[in-house]
Structure 1
Amino acid sequence: MSETCVPSGIKLKDTAFGYTLSLIGGKYKMIIIYWLFENKVMRHNELKRCIDIIPFKTLSVMLKELERDDLIIRKEFPQIPPKVEYSLSERGLSLIPLLDMMCEWGEKNRLLVSGVTE
């Protein structure tokens, strides 16, 4: 990590790195962002099916937090039964290069650990 990212003597939460972690940290937020990027627009139950192991209430909380942080857009349609769709905001889309880098790193290092070379 660069000297300017997490300077010594500064609490992690008070750094840009800590801020980023506060937005996307946790068990499911990056997965939600990934699925919304892959599918453009999804409803709650579609996300639940894709992230099979996530509890219904946890997904609801994560979606509210991502919306609060302006990473996703929640669009509610005035109809009965109610219809709500989620998509990435411009701010959420700006995280995709970060997720891509994590994917590339994981692919490279997963292969190194398993002893497979390209």
Structure 2
Amino acid sequence: MERVKYFLRIVETYDVARQYYVYLKSCCQANFPDLADVIDIIYLLVPKKHLDGHKEDCKYRFSLNYTEGVGRSHGEGIEASWAESKQSGGSTCQINHSHCHDTINDLHNYWNWNKLRGLGA
């Protein structure tokens, strides 16, 4: 529990988080026994856009709306950049791994910069 004391909780969102949640602790205890204590502070939740496709009880148990400390998060932040990232496919498919990594980093930095500039508008 030494490493866990620094975190209150770790919140992850994924559209099939409910399915992973069922076996997460037993899987970690079997394969990563030294990290099994970390599972107790991990909250696997379903992003709001994907919540409608789940059963009623899951909508409450795995919802960001009813989880303390996550506020009005929607859990879909990473998906917003995918459309921009796909545009780099043509220019990154033929370059070496290191250059590809740098190009994708540059693309995301530029995308984040544009998003940051637009926050005040």
Say which structure is richer in strand. 1
TM-score, normalized by length of structure 1?
0.30
Instruction: Name the one with the larger helix percent.
Output: 2
TM-score (norm 2): 0.29
If you compute each CA radius of gyration, which structure gives the higher value, 1 or 2?
Answer: 2
